Amino acid sequence: MILLKDIRWVYQGADTAVLHGLDLYIRRGETVVLCGPSGSGKSTALRLMNGLIPFFHEGTLDGEVRVRGEPITDLAQVGRVTGTVLQHPRRQFFTDAIDTELAFALENFGTPPQRIRDRVGEVIAELGLADLTGRLRELSGGQQQRVACAAAITHGPPLLLLDEPTSNLSPRGIADLTAILRHLREQGVTLVIAEHRLHYLRELADRIVVLQDGRVGREWTRAEFAGLTDEMLREEGLRGLDAPGRAGVAPAFAYGPSVEPGESRPRETAPAGEAGERAGVATAPGPGAGGAGVALRGIRCAFGGRPVLDIAEAHLPAGVITAVTGPNGAGKTTLARILAGLQRHAGQVLLDGRPLSRSRRQRACAIVMQDVQRQLFTDSVTAELRLGTTPDHAEHAAAVVADLGLDGLGDRHPLSLSGGQQQRLVVATARLSGSSIVIFDEPSSGVDRRHLQSMTRTMRDVAANGAVVVLISHDADLLALAADQELRLCPLR
C-alpha cells in the first residue's frame, strides 16, 4: 500500500534532516502505529504518505515514495486514495455542519449529487453520527474527532492517516475513536497512526514502528508489543501501555451544581443551605475554604443566558497541583478564565482569604494555553524568558531552561522552534513569572514521556514555591504523574 524507500527530508530553512534513511513498507489492510520521541519524524512520515511533503511543505526530498504502487504527482490525486485526520479536528473543518463536512471531498471530486447524498447518509449511519446534533463547533472534542474521521473516509479512500488523533480527547473520546478505528480496520481500511498515547492501540495495531532520529529504530508485532514491560517502553522514550488510573488522587474541596459527586467521593457533609440541597456535591477530607490559596464563592457564569458554570464553593490550595477534569462543556476553560480574571462572572474569588478583583487576578496569574503560539511575543528565546520575569526568579532561568530541554536555543526565534519546544518555552516563562496562580491548559498534547516528566517537575517546582497550580487536562498519563487533587466538573443540565 505504501512504500517509503531511503527517504531523506529537510524542511526549507532547517539545518538538519528530519527524516534520514527512512525505509518503511505498509501492507494493504494493515494497522501500523508510528511512535517515538518528540521530533523523531512521526508527523513528517505521515506528510510524505499524503503528499503534503513535498506538495504543501517546502524542502528537499530524496528517496522514493509510492502509494498504491504509484508515485505521488499532486495532492488531489493522493487525496482520492487517502484520508487524513489531524490533531485539531476543528481546524480542519471547512463547514459547520456534519452533512456538508462529509460531502466536502465528494463535491470537490465531482461526484453526482444523488450519490453524494446517499454516501453521506451511509457514513452517518455506519459511524453512528446521527445522534450528534448542533453545529460542529459546539460538539465535544471526541465528537468532533469522530466527524473528522467520517469526513476523511466518506469518499472511500483505502488508506486513513491519523496524526496524534487523541491528543485533545477525554477517555470517553478515546473510546469513541477506538471503536471507529476498529470498525474501519474490519472494513479493510489501511490505518497509519502517529501517536504518543499507546494504551488504546494495544488491541488494534498489527505493527508498532518506533522512529528514532528520522529512521526506523525498532519494530514490534502486536504480540511482542503486548508483552513489553513499562521499563522497556521507557528506554525507548515511549509512554506506558496501560491506561493509568488515578485511584490515589484526592477530590478537591468543592460543591455546587457544576461539581461532579463521583462514586468514590464522600458525599457532602458540611455545606448548609440552598447550595448543598441542589446536589452536584463533592468534597474532600482536605482543607477548608479558609487556608492559603484560592477560594471560590458562589461562582456563576452564563453565556447568552445559558448557564455554563455554577460552583457554590471550592478551595484550591497553594502548594499543590489541582487537576480540573471533566467532559467538554463542563466549564473547565471557563473556570480557568475566571481564575485568570479574563471572564466576567457572579461571585467572589479570594486569594489567601482576600477578595481579588479581575484586574488584580490578571496580574497575579499565568496561563500556559493550548495554542502556545498565541503567547510568544518576542524575537528570541532569551528575550521571551526575560519578558515578565521577576528578578527573584531570573536566577533560576538557566536551571529551568536546562530541565525543559531548551539548552542552546537562546538566540533562536521562538516561532522557529518545534511545537514541543514552543510549548516548553511557554511553560518556562510561566515558571519564571513568579505568579501566585499558574494554570496549565492541556499542556501535554504532542508530548513524549521524557517531556511529560520534565513538565511535571516544572509544575511541582511552581507549586513548591507557594503558587496555586491548576492543571486542566484529559491526559491520563499526565494526571497520574502530576495531580495532587482533582476537581471534577460536569455539564449543567
Minimum CB distance to other proteins smaller for 73 or for 221: 73
Please report how close the Cβ of residue 402 comes to other proteins at its closest, in angstroms. 23
Q: Which is nearer to other proteins, 30 or 126 (CB)?
A: 126
Identify which of residues 101 and 313 has a Cβ nearer to other proteins in the complex: 101
Binding mask 107-136 for other proteins (x = CB under 8 A): xxxxxxx--xx--xxx-xxxxxxxxxxxx-
96 contributes a contact to other proteins by CB under 8 A:
yes
Residues 31-50 within binding reach of other proteins (CB under 8 A) = 50
Min CB(95)–other proteins separation in Å: 5
Task: Tell me how far, at minimum, the Cβ of 172 lies from other proteins, in Å.
Answer: 4
Per CB under 8 A, the list member of 5, 27, 80, 267 interacting with other proteins is: 80
CB of 117 to other proteins, least distance (A): 6
Is residue 388 at the binding interface for other proteins, with CB under 8 A as the rule?
A: yes
100 near other proteins, judged by CB under 8 A? yes
- State the nearest-atom distance from the C-beta of 267 to other proteins, in Å: 21
**Site residues for other proteins, window 401-460 (CB under 8 A)?**
415, 429, 433
For the CB of residue 142, give the shortest distance to other proteins in the complex, in Å. 9
Among the listed ranges 96-104, 224-232, 257-265, 403-411, the one in contact with other proteins (CB under 8 A) is: 96-104
* Residue 32 or 124 having the CB closest to other proteins: 124
Among 61, 92, 250, 262, binds other proteins (CB under 8 A): 92
Which residues in 164-223 contact other proteins (CB under 8 A)? Answer: 170-172, 174-176, 178-180, 183, 199-200
With binding defined as CB under 8 A, does residue 289 bind other proteins? no
Stretch that binds other proteins, among 85-93, 221-229, 272-280, 313-321 (CB under 8 A): 85-93
- What is the 3-state secondary structure of the chain? CEEEEEEEEEECCCCCCCEEEEEEEECCCCEEEEECCCCCCHHHHHHHHCCHHHHCCCEEEEEEEEECCEECCCHHHHHHHEEEECCCHHHHCCCCCHHHHHHHHHHHCCCCHHHHHHHHHHHHHHCCCCCCCCCHHHCCHHHHHHHHHHHHHCCCCCEEEEECCCCCCCHHHHHHHHHHHHHHHHCCCEEEEECCCCHHHCCCCCEEEEEECCEEEEEEEHHHHHCCCHHHHHHCCCCCCCCCCCCCCEECEEECCCECCCCCCCCCCCCCCHHHHCCCEECCCCCCCCCCEEEEEEEEEEECCEEEEEEEEEEEECCCEEEEECCCCCCHHHHHHHHCCCCCCEEEEEECCEECCHHHHHHHEEEECCCHHHHCCCCCHHHHHHCCCCHHHHCCHHHHHHHCCCCCCCCCCHHHCCHHHHHHHHHHHHHHCCCCEEEEECCCCCCCHHHHHHHHHHHHHHHHCCCEEEEECCCHHHHHHHCCEEEEECCCC
Which of 91, 306, 354, 493 touches other proteins by CB under 8 A? 91
Q: In what order do the strands lie in the sheet with 19-26?
A: 19-26, 2-11, 59-67, 70-71
**Binders of other proteins in range 219-278 (CB under 8 A):** 243
Asked if 380 touches other proteins (CB under 8 A), the answer is no
64 or 96: whose CB is closer to other proteins?
Answer: 96
306 near other proteins, judged by CB under 8 A:
no
Q: How far is the CB of 429 from other proteins (least distance, A)?
A: 8
Q: Does 344 bind other proteins (CB under 8 A)?
A: no
